[in-house]
Amino acid sequence: MINRDVKTLDEFTIQQLRQFPNATGELSSLLRDIGLAAKRVNVEVNKAGLVDILGDADLVNVQGEDVKKLDVYANQQFAGVLRHGISCAGIGSEEIEDYIGFDDHVSRQSKYIVMFDPLDGSRNIDVNVSIGTIFTVYRRLSPIGSPVSREDFLQPGVRQVAAGYIVYGSSTMMVYATHRGVNGFTLDSSIGEFTLSHPDMQCPAFGRIYSVNHGNYFRYAPGVQAYINRCQRKEAADGGPYTQRYIGSMVSDLHRNLIKGGIFMYPGTTDMPGGKLRLMYECNPFAFIMEVAGGEATDGQQRILEIQPQHLHQRTPLFVGSRGMMAELAACLSQTLPS
């Protein structure tokens, strides 16, 4: 028998809302909208091998990287539900050059803006490996009733109200964090609902997994190399060996590390000193989720969440994971700093 006595995403967010007498329900409605887009994307991801949706869309995104057709589809779905919903005044996306304000009379009254990476790990689509979506929610700074402004989008990560991801994997999950905690919902495809499967997720203080692109080893700074060497030579906190795991979809790599404990690194390299990953819709959301779950996230020097953004698409080196492993990393980085 399937246990039907579990909360759906909607039931959960509405129950959370009841604890705040002044809450308007806009965040629950926003999360429902995101859940709806995720279900639509999930359908397409699942049949990606069957229909002619594979392959490059003959486009490059604003970063100059190839865009797969599913990136375009996912972008349209997330942008569409947010535009039609009542909670979102504007969006920023990896696939859209500048932010977009929704200038209709309903959206102008909305208090949130959302930024997202509609499809993360898209190079993995045509080899059937898990991919994901990442999103973050901020309260707008511009007055309600007016169009959104650039400042609404260029807020440091500490101001996030909520952040989350969807992993389209062996099962599809939506995980989101608010300051109150991190909760994971698995898509029950028999009823088409995300249902609470991972309440109050905590990242273990230590783990065995380190995730990094080893192919770039000789392009990393000495401190990063020293930490990788340490993982290869020393034992993990529980006495066992470290293990290297790198899928190449940060959603999947970080989802696993959040549950099992571990560290994920995308450092700067000699050819890309600022790293590859985008601050606003890749690093900040995961930094927020991991910190709420008890972990840490830095760029090697400062907390990711305290970086004052200058551009919607700016990149940053990223180190994120279990608190104890982040401390070991910090020790390696500081020992090899140029004097």
Question: Which positions touch ligand AHG (CB under 6 A)?
Answer: 65, 94, 117, 120-122, 213, 248-250, 276
| Shortest spacing between CB 61 and ligand AHG, in angstroms | 8
Binding track over 88-107 against Mn ion, x by CB under 5 A: ------x-------------
The site partner of 285 among Mn ion, ligand AHG, none (C-beta below 5 to 8 Å per kind) is none
| Shortest spacing between CB 117 and Mn ion, in angstroms | 4
| Shortest spacing between CB 94 and ligand AHG, in angstroms | 6
Torsion of CA 121, 123, 125, 129, to 10 degrees: -60
Is there binding between residue 117 and Mn ion (CB under 5 A)?
Answer: yes
| Shortest spacing between CB 5 and Mn ion, in angstroms | 36
Sole binder of Mn ion in the list 120, 253, 291, 299 (CB under 5 A): 120
102 vs 288 by CB, closer to ligand AHG? 288
Q: Which stretch binds Mn ion (CB under 5 A): 47-55, 112-120, 135-143, 220-228?
A: 112-120
Torsion of CA 249, 252, 256, 262, to 10 degrees: 20
Is there binding between residue 152 and Mn ion (CB under 5 A)?
Answer: no
The site partner of 249 among Mn ion, ligand AHG, none (C-beta below 5 to 8 Å per kind) is ligand AHG
| Shortest spacing between CB 303 and ligand AHG, in angstroms | 20
Beta bridge partners of 168: 131, 172
Q: Which stretch binds Mn ion (CB under 5 A): 14-22, 27-35, 116-124, 135-143?
A: 116-124
Closest CA to 146 of 183, 108, 173, 174: 108
The site partner of 152 among Mn ion, ligand AHG, none (C-beta below 5 to 8 Å per kind) is none
Q: Which stretch binds Mn ion (CB under 5 A): 110-118, 136-144, 227-235, 292-300?
A: 110-118
The footprint of Mn ion on this chain (CB under 5 A) covers a number of residues equal to: 4
Is there binding between residue 253 and Mn ion (CB under 5 A)?
Answer: no
76 vs 149 by CB, closer to Mn ion? 76
228 vs 318 by CB, closer to Mn ion? 318
The site partner of 26 among ligand AHG, Mn ion, none (C-beta below 5 to 8 Å per kind) is none
CA 155-160-165 angle, to 5 degrees, is 120
147 vs 248 by CB, closer to ligand AHG? 248
93 vs 178 by CB, closer to Mn ion? 93
| Shortest spacing between CB 93 and Mn ion, in angstroms | 9
SS3 labels along the chain: CCCCCCCEHHHHHHHHHHCCCCCCCHHHHHHHHHHHHHHHHHHHHHCCCCCCCCCEEEEECCCCCEEEHHHHHHHHHHHHHHHHCCCEEEEEECCCCCCEECCCCCHHHCCEEEEEEEEECHHHHHHCCCEEEEEEEEECCCCCCCCCCHHHHCCCHHHEEEEEEEEECCCEEEEEEECCEEEEEEEECCCCEEEEEECCCCCCCCCCEEECCHHHHHHCCHHHHHHHHHHHHCECCCCCECEECCCCCHHHHHHHHHHHCEEEEECCCCCCCCCCCEHHHHHHHHHHHHHHCCCEEECCCCEHHHCCCCCCCCECCEEEECHHHHHHHHHHHHHCCCC
Residues that bind Mn ion (CB under 5 A): 94, 117, 119-120
